[in-house]
Amino acid sequence: MYYGSANVSERQAAPPSLAISTVIFALRPSESSGRPTLWLPLVRRIREPFKGLWALPGGPLSHDESLQDAASRSLRETTGLAPRYLEQLYAFGGLHRSPTQRVVSIVYWALVQPTEAALADVSENVKWFRADRLGELAFDHNAIVDYALWRLRNKLAYGSVAYHLLGEYFTLAQVREVYEAVLDRELDPANFRRQLKSTPEIEETDEFLQGGKHRPPRLYRFTGRPGLDPDNRSTP
Amino acid sequence: MYYGSANVSERQAAPPSLAISTVIFALRPSESSGRPTLWLPLVRRIREPFKGLWALPGGPLSHDESLQDAASRSLRETTGLAPRYLEQLYAFGGLHRSPTQRVVSIVYWALVQPTEAALADVSENVKWFRADRLGELAFDHNAIVDYALWRLRNKLAYGSVAYHLLGEYFTLAQVREVYEAVLDRELDPANFRRQLKSTPEIEETDEFLQGGKHRPPRLYRFTGRPGLDPDNRSTP
DNA sequence: ATCAGTTATGGTCAAAGTGACCATAACTAG
DNA sequence: CTAGTTATGGTCACTTTGACCATAACTGAT
């Protein structure tokens, strides 16, 4: 092992490069059932390694921006999205993530509301995929998406993330559909409703959603805070 | 803004440097009450910036080691510790963490058992401090420790971290003391016991702890898994 | 040997929370 | 006006949780 005894300046001569990537989740109606399911945008690699494969949007960290800013910027540049919910997921730094060089990726995950997701750029090289039906992705991005999904399910159980996948106003049934889509199981409407009703962060409005062929459901609104990250915790 | 329009090679000319640090928690008897409390080892800065202040153990990431290996190694080199529980905490990348250069720190947190903690090197420049009585630390390390404490409390509520602060065999009262130290509130012995009893991961042994001036408590042993990190999840 | 002091351990009871399920309300489409 | 559909409210049995009491089993002092 050469590097084991390398001194500081030698190490700095070949530092691992640092990249920022983001897993972006949005709800879209499934093509088959029409029920909402999780989707995420990927970008096609236009150069080696993994040229032609799909990968998470991302890019290098530039000198004058924070990690979160870098995530926001790379998102905006590649997909046109500006998610309201953006949180650090994990730093991936395995030795062989990239065949050509050592790369440490600090990965963020984001939730976007459907209206916003609809505005996302879609092109030859940017496309949305169902989160549960991804093919082989570049690098270790399959594992990263898996972990992001696991985190999403966890946070959902905890509390206040579901609303960031919905618009400002929503029905309780829509919240339930989010839970059902993410957790992949059906929930009892009445019991689920009872729980949400006991959550102080969900505010009843005087509006009702018209247009269904049934009794119009009441619209609600979320009034809580998003994150508990060190980068978010102080924000009052 | 110069960097905003910089091309790739210009950005790479001045990359943020990457460091690994670790927050290490161990239980030690409080000097006043004798009850177990949280302590952590810090190292004194021997050069600028923040020369003379105490800081988290850590160091640069060398080219041929994974993030977790780097954390382990820097721990071993600075404190002599080799914790069994080691998990990624967060990547801190604010612009002004270090006054001299841009540094991104990937921070780990560790739990060590008391027997192991007792072996830790202590010297002029390595010392243990009570987690709730730290002075001003170098860089943003106070904020990092706060976040690590918050994470520890959270994980404790979830389940299976407390045992990594204890030896292989322990009494239920010792587990309770861990909870009381970390959560900083008293818990009902009988109720706490009832909960642990319903946890399948805690195995009753035939041994009893002798030596107290009261009825000898039974010894138990933890048989569960530690982590759910992407770096740990696959380990069966 | 006996007793006081101390923690371990088992149990009760009421309050709160959860899952399964039923009934009615309020809309639309025909 | 009726059938179809989802919204919404409620019941009931079961589980979990917190507060609390009682007894068990040790040590150390008398």
pLDDT digits (tens, 9 = 90+) for B103-144: 999 999 999 999 888 888 889 999 999 999 999 999 999 999
Chain A segment 104-123 residues within 8 A of B by beta carbon are 104, 106
Contact between chains at B93 and A66 (C-beta distance less than 8 A): yes
Chain-centroid distance of CA B222 in Å reads 19
Q: What is the Rg, in whole angstroms, of the alpha carbon atoms belonging to chain B? A: 20
pLDDT tens, residue by residue, A77-116: 999 999 999 999 999 999 999 999 999 999 999 999 998 8
- Give the pLDDT of residue A31: 82
pLDDT at B236: 43
Let me know: does A89 contact A68? Beta carbons within 8 Å.
Answer: no
Whether residues B92 and A64 touch (CB distance < 8 A) is answered with no
pLDDT score of A150 more than 80? yes
The pLDDT of residue A9 is above 70 = no
DSSP A123: B
Please spell the DSSP secondary structure of B88-143, one letter per residue.
EEEEE--TTSSSSS-EEEEEEEEEE-HHHHHTS--BTTEEEEETTS--PBSTTHHH
| Chain centroid to CA A126 | 16
The pLDDT value recorded for residue B3 is 36
**Which residues on chain B are in Cβ contact (under 8 Å) with A150?**
228
pLDDT at res. B32 = 80
Rounded Cα gap, residues A145 and B195, in angstroms: 35
Position B116 scores a pLDDT of 87
From A142, which residue of chain B is nearest by alpha-carbon distance? B230
Q: Per residue of chain B (236 residues), what is the pLDDT tens digit?
A: 333 334 444 434 468 899 999 999 999 998 888 889 999 999 999 999 999 999 999 999 998 999 999 999 999 999 999 999 999 999 999 999 999 999 999 999 999 999 888 888 889 999 999 999 999 999 999 999 999 999 999 999 887 899 999 999 999 999 999 999 999 999 999 999 999 999 999 999 999 999 888 999 999 999 987 766 787 765 44
Peptide bond into A226 cis (omega under 30): no
Task: Please give the Cα distance from B71 to B42 (Å, whole number).
Answer: 14
pLDDT at A196: 96
Distance between CA atoms of B138 and B52, rounded to whole angstroms?
Answer: 9
- CB contacts of A6 in chain B (<8 Å) are 62-63
- Tell me the average pLDDT across A68-75: 95
Using a cut of 0.85, tell me whether the model's pTM lies above it.
yes
Distance, CA of A110 to CA of A83 (rounded, Å)? 6
| Res. A173: pLDDT tops 70 | yes
- pLDDT tens track for A24-49: 999 999 888 888 999 999 999 999 99
Nearest to B21 by CA among B164, B141, B147: B141
Provide the positions of strand D that have an atom within 7 A of a protein CB.
Answer: 4-11, 17-22, 24-28
Q: Check residue A133 and give its pLDDT.
A: 93
Helix pair angle (A141-158, A172-183), 10° resolution: 140
- Per-residue pLDDT at A177: 96
For residues B76 and B90, give the distance between their C-alpha atoms in angstroms, rounded to a whole number.
20
CB atoms within 10 A of CB A10: 13
* Partners of residue B6 in chain A, C-beta under 8 Å: 62
Please tell me if residue B4 touches chain A, with a CB cutoff of 8 Å.
yes
Are A92 and B230 a contacting pair at CB < 8 A? yes
pLDDT, residue A115, reads 87
Higher pLDDT, A226 or A220: A220
User: What are the chain B neighbours of A63 within 8 Å (beta carbons)?
Assistant: 3, 11, 14-16, 102
Q: What is the mean pLDDT of residues A177-186?
A: 95
Mean pLDDT of A2-28: 69
Q: Tell me the two tokens of residue B60.
A: 């640069």
- Structure confidence at residue A160 (pLDDT): 84
* Signed CA dihedral, A4, A6, A9, A11: sign only: negative
CA→C1' distance for A195 and C17 (Å)? 10
> CB of A157 within 8 Å of any CB in chain B?
no
